[in-house]
Amino acid sequence: MKYTIQTLYEKMLAEMGPQGWWPAETKIEVAIGAILVQNTNWRNVARSLAVLRKETALEPQRILRLSKDKLIELIRPSGFYKNKSRSLLALLAWLAEEDFDYAKIKRKFGAGLRKELLALYGIGEETADVLLVYVFDEAEFIADRYAQRLMAALGLQRADSYRKLKEEITLPAGFSYQAAQEFHGLIDNFGKHYLKHPADFANSFLADATLEY
């Protein structure tokens, strides 16, 4: 069975249902989680978020007022805490310059928003795209590890790095940011079930699928 990106999304949604991902109550919680989840699993992030929430209610100005050592202590469960504390403070300070008005930030930077995010300390391509999709409501493809594994399993040749896959995949015209959020959640949850071991994919509902692009 051959799928386009659009029909692949529709197939996954029909088989798996809505994923409700990203797990957060506010955009600022998404932004914090996007930094903390780098190079770790969500269980560790959830521990850090719980501690940080208890201390600051996840209010960005309260986080910005924390001492460096205190912030490191609070996010320690996520690992790489020195770099992540610096990255988190850089992102929150940048957002604070525009009063955390995400629509205003989008208008200000327009098509250059991704470049602005990438210029912040500790924000790479995946984190920038997560912020675009979940915080700034942009329709972007998040070419993370599970996406790379899925697209390779579907026969895509240039799927062995974030940048290569990003160059290969174009979301359909009219693909909404809500669909981009859902697609990311679907791919990651599919990956957890069917892409951890090569043999698992053969038992999935996409076992006979290939991608047209």
Pure H helices in 77-176: 81-96, 102-109, 113-118, 125-134, 145-153, 162-168
Instruction: Report yes or no: 208 and 3 within 8 Å, Cβ to Cβ.
Output: no
Determine how many CB atoms are found less than 10 A away from the CB of residue 80. 16
Alpha carbon 3 to its chain centroid, in Å, reads 24
Q: What is the pLDDT of residues 60-87, one digit of tens each?
A: 999 999 999 999 999 999 999 999 999 9
pLDDT bucket at 26, cuts 50 / 70 / 90: very high
CATH class of 27-134: mainly alpha
**Whole-model pTM?**
0.95
Residue boundaries of the structural domains of the chain: 2-19+140-211, 27-134
Q: What is the pLDDT of residues 77-131, one digit of tens each?
A: 999 999 999 999 999 999 999 999 999 999 999 999 999 999 999 999 999 999 9
